[in-house]
């Protein structure tokens, strides 16, 4: 069996030990005689799986006791609507920081449920940086301030936690969660789709301060009301059981690596290797401002874009796939999430040097 180096932005690569354990347990989980996919979500076997997954996530992120951890469905796109439904709490509007395509989607969706004040935008600069905090025009009566901590498409990442005063800070962390330690207590709500750093598509993680729930808009479906979900331990409706199981295996794997401080060091080594090469040659170009470069998603372009097809074909022939950039920005994108080994980035850089020698 030959495994490729999968640079997909999501669904993304999973740690090989996790896949092997899932394969070994597929037909019979721990002597139950059942696959996890066949279990009742209310049975003792699965409730134990879900409880362990939540406990491990709390441990990895040091989630304070007064925060709820919710296992939901719909991905971050659904949360773009679910967040304002739950978090407006009688306020007329919320503040949003526009740093790219996913911020724009969040803003568009939130406008269906209340007013949106775009307090800062990086649009004028082509979404290659994050607006300086002192330029944000925050409204003192905003329900919350929303950021996208890492723009998967554009490759810009917050390397700081913005101070927004007493207003709850809400973050879409879909493509950066669990890549490094985060002070959860500085956020009112953190959410993210699982299909990048956590597990299969279908699971959405929500971490929300308990005093912020319980005032959802009347139009909020019960399954999307954070209070209902929390009161029912994420079992109000049938949750994505197998995705939760895989997430728990990933959390265990992360713990075995040394936790988030160790995985951050691993991720910084990979990112530095790739960015350092991009900065040494005019044959390639990394468009994002250095201080905002993502550790997870590295977009880059060839100086001669007519060579894009040849570059991708050659990469695939060498066992490196999913390097094509998002259709909205073009070029290339290497997503180097937690499960991407250092060897994958080394192989990519070696190929980039080889391709330049042939075509430069």
Active-site position among 29, 172, 253, 270: 172
- For residue 118, report the phi and psi dihedrals to the nearest 5 degrees: -80, 100
Could you tell me the two tokens for 229? 């979900």
Asked if 163 is an active-site residue, the reply is no
237 burial (CB, 10 Å; 0-12 / 13-18 / 19+) is middle
Asked if 172 is an active-site residue, the reply is yes
* Adjacency order of strands within the sheet including 189-193: 67-72, 204-209, 189-193, 169-172, 145-148, 93-98, 115-121
Residue linked to tokens 């296992």: 71
Active-site position among 95, 104, 196, 270: 196
Asked if 196 is an active-site residue, the reply is yes
Within 13 Å and on the Cβ side, how many CA atoms surround 297?
A: 30
Strand partners, 94: 116
Could you tell me the two tokens for 16? 């090989």
Helix ranges (H only) for 33-179 are 44-61, 75-87, 101-110
Could you tell me the two tokens for 39? 């279990």
Q: Is 266 helix (H, G, I), strand (E, B) or coil?
A: helix
CA 50, distance to chain mean position in Å, is 20
Active-site position among 29, 98, 102, 301: 102
Any long-range contacts for 128-137 (C-beta under 8 Å, 24+ apart)? 128/154, 128/156, 128/287, 128/288, 128/289, 128/292, 129/156, 129/288, 129/289, 129/291, 129/292, 130/97, 130/99, 130/156, 130/158, 130/292, 131/97, 131/99, 133/160, 133/162, 133/163, 136/95, 136/97, 136/162
Q: Which residues are catalytically annotated?
A: 102, 172, 196
């Amino acid at each position: 069996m030959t495994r490729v180096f999968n640079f997909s932005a999501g669904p993304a690569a999973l740690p090989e030990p996790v896949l092997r354990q899932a394969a070994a347990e597929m037909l019979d989980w721990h002597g139950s005689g059942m696959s996890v996919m066949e279990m009742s979500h209310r049975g003792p076997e699965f409730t134990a799986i879900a409880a362990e997954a939540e406990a491990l996530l709390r441990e990895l992120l040091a989630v304070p006791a007064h925060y709820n951890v919710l296992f939901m469905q719909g991905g971050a796109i659904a949360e773009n609507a679910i967040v304002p439904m739950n978090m407006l709490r009688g306020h007329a509007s919320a503040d949003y920081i526009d740093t790219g395509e996913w911020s724009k989607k969040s803003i568009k969706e939130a406008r269906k449920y209340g007013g949106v004040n775009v307090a800062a935008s990086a649009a004028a600069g082509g979404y290659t940086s994050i607006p300086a905090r002192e330029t944000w025009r925050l409204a003192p009566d905003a329900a919350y301030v929303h950021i996208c901590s890492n723009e998967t498409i554009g490759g810009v990442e917050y390397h700081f936690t913005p101070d927004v005063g007493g207003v709850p800070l809400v973050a879409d962390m879909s493509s950066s969660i669990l890549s490094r330690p985060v002070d959860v207590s500085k956020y009112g709500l953190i959410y993210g789709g699982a299909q990048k750093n956590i597990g299969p598509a279908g699971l959405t993680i929500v971490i929300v301060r308990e005093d912020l729930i319980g005032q959802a808009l009347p139009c909020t479906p019960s399954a999307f009301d954070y209070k209902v979900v929390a009161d029912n331990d994420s079992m109000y409706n049938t949750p994505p059981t197998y995705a939760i199981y895989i997430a728990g295996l990933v959390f265990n794997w992360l713990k075995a690596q040394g936790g988030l401080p160790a995985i951050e060091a691993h991720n910084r080594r990979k990112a530095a290797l790739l960015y350092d090469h991009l900065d040494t040659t005019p044959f390639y170009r990394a468009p994002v401002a250095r201080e905002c470069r993502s550790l997870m998603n590295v977009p880059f372009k060839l100086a001669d874009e007519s060579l894009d097809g040849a570059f991708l074909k050659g990469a695939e022939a060498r066992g490196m796939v999913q390097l094509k950039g998002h259709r909205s920005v073009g070029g290339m994108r290497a997503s180097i999430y937690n499960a991407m080994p250092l060897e994958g980035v080394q192989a990519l850089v070696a190929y980039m040097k080889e391709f330049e020698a042939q075509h430069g």
